Structure 1
Amino acid sequence: MKPERSIFHAVFTREFYRHNASFFLLVTGLAAGFLRGSDHIALAELFTSNPLLLSIPFAVWLIYTLKVIAFNSEALKRSENEFLYTFILLPKIDQHSALLITLINQLMPAIVYGIFLVMIALQLDLMLSAAVIVIMLAALIVWATWRLHRSLQQPDLERKVHPVKRWFDRTFHKPYTIFFTEWILQRQPLPLIGFKAFSIAIVLTVCYLYSDEPYDHRLLAMGVVISATAHFPLLMELHRFENFHFPVLRQLPLKFSQRVLYTLGTLSPLMLPECGLLITYFPENLPATVLPESILLLFSVIIFISGSLYVKDRKLEHWNQRIFFTAMALIALILFSIPLPVFIVVLSAAGLYQWRRMFYRFEYISDPINHDR
């Protein structure tokens, strides 16, 4: 292996899989624990035979690619990796080959599943679906490679405010609940779209499974938990916005209930797609009371995570492990048929208690690079 490829493998590929080990364990556990081999084949046949459903794996691959891009961007911001900017001194062919191999290795889980879908599509003589899958995967690889190459070539790009945005800011007054949404759309629009696409795909897939077999409410509850925990990066960004980028909010004379309502008011519009899908595609065989319970469970998990973020400042990789174990614990408890109202009350109470108790004690002490991405 050439030296530049070894370096890129150590900095990007190996560290990416090490930092996201809990994420891969969660996906592997869900895929192997809840779906049999025949179920995977049936699901692949469903994806490849329906263009609309084929967008679900595309959305998941897009989210995964965004995760890879975000990790690579953060890795380049670390002081110990500044030597990578000398990469531009290498011959062009060595630059492109090293980057391409690095991104292929990072995107290997998506590529492997894509090959599986292509094999199923070829067995069903669905040549168009197979071609679309190959083109989509190739486009994601090229896009991620280009993003990393541009970051290495131009590490300090200037950001300009569009004239339409300046006019809009002068003309209209925005309520506080819109501040974060506008801020995250400007800074990280693609990751936001990716997280929402993954969450929506989970809810749609779970609701669709009820059309084949009359599962009980536990399957829907597990899907809601996964959808809620998938919003953790978004919740962490909101936490940073309120306490790091907009610290004046902590000094305002607001009641605790007002602070909670402002946060929930900020998140509620972002959670409308999941709530709308639960209402639209709610399984007919489930009792009507499960619908409001599922929506409340979604928000109770979010409240619990939001409150937990105030307990102690931790780096993202530490939080990923905690969120993974939290999701697995909740899924295990759901399998024991504990009533959903119990989850709603306990999670909401625990989250609000941590939130209220630690709000004025919380301070950032971990790596500042993680706070100003």
Structure 2
Amino acid sequence: MREYRIAAIPADGIGPEVIAAGLQALETLERRDGGFRLSVTQFDWGSDYYRRTGVMMPADGTDQLKPFDAIFFGAVGAPDVPDHITLWGLRLPICQGFDQYANVRPTKILPGISSPLANVGPGDLDWVIVRENSEGEYAGHGGRAHRGLPEEVATETAIFTRVGVTRIMRYAFALAQARPRKLLTVVTKSNAQRHGMVMWDEIAAEVSKEYPDVTWDKVLVDAMTVRMTLKPQSLDTIVATNLHADILSDLAGALAGSLGVAPTANIDPERRFPSMFEPIHGSAFDITGKGIANPVATFWTAAQMLEHLGEPAAAARLMAAVEKVSGEGIKTPDVGGSATTMEVTEAVCEAIRSSNI
């Protein structure tokens, strides 16, 4: 039997609720499939851990995670802890420490879920956004001087390296090549950012020569928001910088009906370290504990994790179950339903057990 070690970090807000739902679905898949087993270890890192210890995770946190095959992450952030502490204390050290440089965010309109876009339904919006996840605007370089004085200054330095840009372009072109439409859109802002983003454009053109069967175009990030809302059918695979893709992928989730259905994979394509899989909806403290958090993003994230682990059949079965349940109208309130987290989870698990999925 194939066995995989999974580190589960539920963390903050609705994170524990949706990770519990995801693990329940994965356990159901294990029993149905019979060919693999997930050995799950839970870590209590996050804002509660920070309140107790003054850190979001132990100093040797990444060392503890290295032996695992994948990381199943909930959400990070709390109203009483500054966002830069929660983000730089837990999620980013894992992403950057394990060089998870490809952030992959698929988006599509699931059956039974309505897009806010007029006359757009399933099949009209089916994208994968590839986000450069290790440098760019989130490199963490810069500083502040003369704090509290009128002349106080803060700098935030975006870093673009040839290695970093080339590898994310190759990843995006290869992903586009593997999809039926073989279509890639490169997002840029080289009209105003005349150094790093011009290099971004140049490297995109260089890498494109390695993938002659991929059709690609280049769009400024502000124009991209217009294209996403007015011409969603014109897009398929998208690659953008750390900041630009962070923003655009939230827009994509909203256009697909809710951030509650949007997944993320933080991938180390070379598989030197464990990759991390998480829903993108955040900690959502406004609904924490109410039992209405949408688990679909976590199920989809779990499917991404299964694909990465080499279990595509189980991943496909999980997504088929999710689409069956959403198509039947068993949905949480954020997508127009009245079901609870547990009701959606139980329905998905029952669909997995069904012989026709």
Answer 1 or 2: which has greater helix percent.
Answer: 1
Q: TM-score, normalised by structure 2?
A: 0.30
Structure with max Cα Rg: 1
Q: TM-score, normalised by structure 1?
A: 0.29
Answer 1 or 2: which has greater strand percent.
Answer: 2
